[in-house]
Structure 1
Amino acid sequence: MFAVLGESYVSAGMLAAVVMCAGLLRGFAGFGSSLLIVPVLGFSIGPTVAVAIATMLEGVATMLLLPASLKRADRRMMLIMSPCAAMAIPAGHALLVSLDPTLSNIAISGAVLTMTALIVAGARLPLRHSSAGHAVAGGLQGFFTGFGGVGGPPLVLYILAGEASPATKRASIITVSSISLSIALFSTAHFGLLTREALQGAAVLTPAFLLGGVAGSYLFRMAGDRFFQRVALTGLMLAVLALFTANLTRALS
Structure 2
Amino acid sequence: MDAVLALPGLPWLLLAALTCGVVYGFAGFGTALIFIPVAAAILGPEGAVAALAVMGLGSVVTMLPRAWAQADKRTTLLMVGAATVTMPAGIWMLAHVDPTPLRWAMCLLIAGTLVATVAGWTIRLGAGMGPRLGVGAVAGVLGGATGLLGPVVIVTALASGDRAVRMRANLASFLTILNAALLPMLWVQGVLDRTALVAGAVLIGPYVGGTMIGMALFRPGAERVYRGIAYAVVGAAVVAGLPLLD
Q: Same fold (TM over 0.5)?
A: yes
Query: Normalising to structure 2: TM-score of the pair?
Result: 0.88
In structure 2, the CA distance between the partners of 1:44 and 1:150, relative to structure 1 (3 Å rule), is: same
Aligned pairs (5 A) from 1:204-243: 204-221=202-219, 224-243=222-241
Question: How far has the Cα of 1:237 moved from its partner?
Answer: 1.5
Match 2:104 to one of 103, 106, 111 = 106
Deviation of 1:76 after TM superposition, in Å, equals: 3.0
**Counterpart check, 1:64 vs 2:62:** yes
Go from structure 1 to structure 2 and tell me whether the alpha carbon gap of 1:242 and 1:53 turns closer, same or farther (over 3 Å shift): closer
Following superposition, the deviation at residue 84 of structure 1 comes to: 0.8
Q: Does structure 1 conserve the Cα–Cα contact (< 8 Å) formed by 2:38 and 2:240? A: no
1:213/1:223 Cα in 2 relative to 1: closer, same or farther (>3 Å)? farther
Q: CA deviation at 1:40?
A: 0.7
Tell me, yes or no, if the aligned pair for 1:59 and 1:181 is still in contact at 8 Å. yes
Distance 2:7 2:161 in 1: 49
Number of residue pairs matched?
Answer: 246
Q: State the secondary structure of the residue aligned to 1:71.
A: helix
| Matching residue of 1:52 | 50
Instruction: Give the TM-score normalised by the residue count of structure 1.
Output: 0.86
Residue 80 of structure 2 corresponds to 82
Displacement, 1:73? 2.3
Indicate the larger mover: 161-170 or 144-153. Answer: 161-170
* Aligned counterpart, 1:120: 118
Q: CA deviation at 1:114?
A: 1.0
Structure 1 gap ranges (5+): none
State which of 180, 187, 190 in structure 2 corresponds to 1:189.
187
Q: With CA pairs under 8 Å and 6+ residues apart, which has the higher RCO, 1 or 2? A: 2
Do 2:54 and 2:201's aligned partners in 1 also have CA atoms closer than 8 Å?
A: no
The one-letter code matched in structure 2 to 1:226 is: R
Deviation at 1:27, TM superposition (A): 2.0
Alignment of 1:4 onto 2:11: no
Alpha carbons of structure 1 residues 179 and 220: separation in structure 2 relative to 1, 3 Å:
closer
| Shift of residue 200, structure 1, vs aligned partner | 0.6
- The percent identity for this pair of structures is 29
1:15 shift after superposition:
2.0
SS of aligned partner of 2:126: coil
Offset, 1:41 = 0.8
- What RMSD, in angstroms, separates the aligned Cα atoms of the two structures? 2.4
Deviation string 1:32-81 (CA, Å, 9 cap, x unpaired) is 01111111110112110101111222232145332333333223312421
Shift of residue 240, structure 1, vs aligned partner: 0.5
- The residue identity in structure 2 corresponding to 1:85 is A
